[in-house]
């Protein structure tokens, strides 16, 4: 490796919405996981709000087949809450690792917690209260009430991962829950840690529409701080792509595309390589029970070679180096990255190089050749 290169673990992103199926015009499993791989993310956990949704054994089995044939990275799946909770056991046997709850599932929160617990499935929650969402879809009340409600139920059962936490008050409520309950964790996204809405939260450009929405600067700083000090358990993108024309329209659908730059962005903004790896590699891999996420003997060799702008003597990086990506589209447009993915190894095999692009899909035979 060159002097200006560092070797880090591949990242595990616990929260992505790969599209495909009826939404293949937004992204496919192939294009989305290639974005992941080329950004140093070697494992992703999928959410079930695909079209059609992954909330029954047939859809799950089709999805797992598609992931097996088309994905460039390792994948795991959270299923949606089925109407008949008994089918969760079949989905668990089929390979689901967890259940994802949405605001629409709030009336069934207690039974969902119980069922996930009984089936040894992980539980991830989009904690926005549906009634408050109707009254004000972009105000903070929905998350305030939603987190409170989930904390109440979780204080009995534990086993909950709060997705995309975006308010300082949520961090306090979750810290309180953690102080007396096991199995509680939360994710912070790049957009909630790095972007805010300005003084009027109703005045955001439609292209930045996302759920939960971007918050005021004080909350943005609080979220960034949870990453800096490791109080957040995980950094996870909530990658949810739409087409450029959809995002440019006045009624832009919620969701941001962020998988390709999330890892270099975290390294650049945090300026703490060890903490970045804890949040995006080590802890999420451990949460999934995978022997990866750390560079140690016995660990699966999912590895990323980054070129870094920080010179080995610790001096300021070259200001005009044009070797590094400036993000060209999406929510982080214009940001200069201090890290560039040069090579990615999956299980010790070179799978991506910045010079040649991808070398093999995960599920394809050529991979093990």
Residues belonging to the active site: 238
**Partner whose binding site includes residue 283, from ligand DOR, Zn ion, none (CB under 5 to 8 Å by kind):** none
Binder among 11, 14, 16, 17 for ligand DOR (CB under 6 A): 17
Q: Is residue 206 within the footprint of ligand DOR (CB under 6 A)? A: no
Q: Is residue 126 within the footprint of Zn ion (CB under 5 A)? A: yes
Q: Is residue 124 within the footprint of ligand DOR (CB under 6 A)? A: no
Please give the structure tokens belonging to residue 257. 């595309």
Q: What is the Cα–Cα distance from 26 to 32, expressed in whole angstroms?
A: 10
Q: What is the Cα–Cα distance from 128 to 162, expressed in whole angstroms?
A: 10
- Coil, strand or helix: which one is 107? helix
Q: What is the Cα–Cα distance from 177 to 158, expressed in whole angstroms?
A: 9
Binder among 49, 155, 181, 243 for ligand DOR (CB under 6 A): 49
Give whichever of 161 and 211 is closer to ligand DOR, judged by the CB atom.
211
Give whichever of 163 and 281 is closer to ligand DOR, judged by the CB atom.
163
**Partner whose binding site includes residue 254, from Zn ion, ligand DOR, none (CB under 5 to 8 Å by kind):** ligand DOR
Residue closest to Zn ion when measured from CB atoms: 126
Give whichever of 14 and 279 is closer to Zn ion, judged by the CB atom.
14
DSSP 15: E
Q: What is the Cα–Cα distance from 142 to 363, expressed in whole angstroms?
A: 40
- Coil, strand or helix: which one is 292? coil
Q: What is the Cα–Cα distance from 255 to 267, expressed in whole angstroms?
A: 23
Please give the structure tokens belonging to residue 313. 């003597």
Binder among 130, 206, 254, 363 for ligand DOR (CB under 6 A): 254
**Partner whose binding site includes residue 255, from Zn ion, ligand DOR, none (CB under 5 to 8 Å by kind):** ligand DOR
Footprint of Zn ion on 220-249 (CB under 5 A): 238
Q: What are the backbone angles phi and psi of residue 284, rounded to the nearest 5°?
A: -65, -35
Q: What is the Cα–Cα distance from 192 to 208, expressed in whole angstroms?
A: 11
* Shortest distance (Å) from residue 106 CB to ligand DOR: 14
* Shortest distance (Å) from residue 126 CB to Zn ion: 3
**Partner whose binding site includes residue 49, from ligand DOR, Zn ion, none (CB under 5 to 8 Å by kind):** ligand DOR
Q: What is the Cα–Cα distance from 183 to 262, expressed in whole angstroms?
A: 26
**Partner whose binding site includes residue 140, from ligand DOR, Zn ion, none (CB under 5 to 8 Å by kind):** none
Q: Is residue 211 within the footprint of ligand DOR (CB under 6 A)? A: yes
Q: Which residues pair with 341 in a beta bridge?
A: 306
* Shortest distance (Å) from residue 315 CB to ligand DOR: 40
Report yes or no: 226 and 279 within 8 Å, Cβ to Cβ: no
Rg (the chain; Cα; Å): 20
- For ligand DOR, the binding residues (CB under 6 A) are 17, 49, 126, 210-211, 240, 254-255
């Amino acid at each position: 490796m060159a002097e200006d290169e560092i070797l880090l673990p591949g990242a595990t992103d616990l929260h992505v919405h790969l599209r495909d199926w009826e939404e293949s015009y937004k992204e496919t499993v192939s294009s989305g996981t290639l974005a992941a791989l080329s950004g140093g993310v070697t494992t992703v956990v999928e959410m079930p709000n695909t079209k059609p949704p992954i909330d029954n054994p047939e859809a799950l089995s089709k999805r797992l087949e598609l992931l097996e044939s088309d994905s460039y990275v390792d994948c795991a799946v959270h299923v949606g809450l089925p109407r008949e909770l008994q089918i969760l056991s079949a989905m668990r046997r089929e390979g689901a690792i967890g259940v994802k709850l949405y605001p629409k599932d709030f009336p069934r929160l207690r039974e969902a917690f119980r069922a996930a617990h009984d089936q040894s499935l992980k539980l991830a929650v989009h904690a926005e209260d549906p009634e408050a969402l109707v009254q004000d879809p972009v105000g903070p009340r929905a998350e305030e009430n939603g987190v409170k409600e989930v904390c109440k139920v979780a204080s009995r059962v534990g086993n909950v991962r709060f997705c995309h936490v975006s308010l300082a008050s949520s961090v306090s409520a979750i810290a309180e829950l953690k102080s007396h309950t096991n199995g509680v964790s939360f994710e912070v996204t790049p957009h909630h840690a790095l972007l805010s809405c300005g003084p009027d939260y109703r005045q955001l450009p439609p292209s930045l529409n996302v759920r939960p929405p971007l918050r005021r600067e004080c909350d943005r700083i609080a979220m960034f701080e949870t990453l800096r000090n490791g109080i957040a358990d995980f950094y996870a993108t909530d990658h949810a792509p739409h087409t450029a024309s959809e995002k440019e329209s006045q009624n832009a659908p919620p969701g941001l595309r962020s998988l390709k730059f999330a890892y270099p962005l975290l390294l650049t903004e945090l300026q703490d390589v060890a903490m970045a790896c804890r949040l995006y590699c080590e802890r999420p891999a451990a949460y999934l029970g995978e022997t990866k996420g750390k560079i140690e003997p016995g660990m699966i060799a999912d590895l990323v070679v980054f070129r870094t702008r920080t010179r080995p003597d610790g001096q300021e990086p070259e200001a005009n180096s044009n070797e590094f990506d400036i993000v060209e589209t999406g929510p982080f447009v214009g940001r200069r990255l201090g890290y560039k993915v040069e090579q990615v190894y999956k299980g010790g095999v070179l799978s991506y190089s910045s010079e040649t692009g991808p070398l093999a899909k995960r599920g394809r035979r050529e991979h093990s050749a």
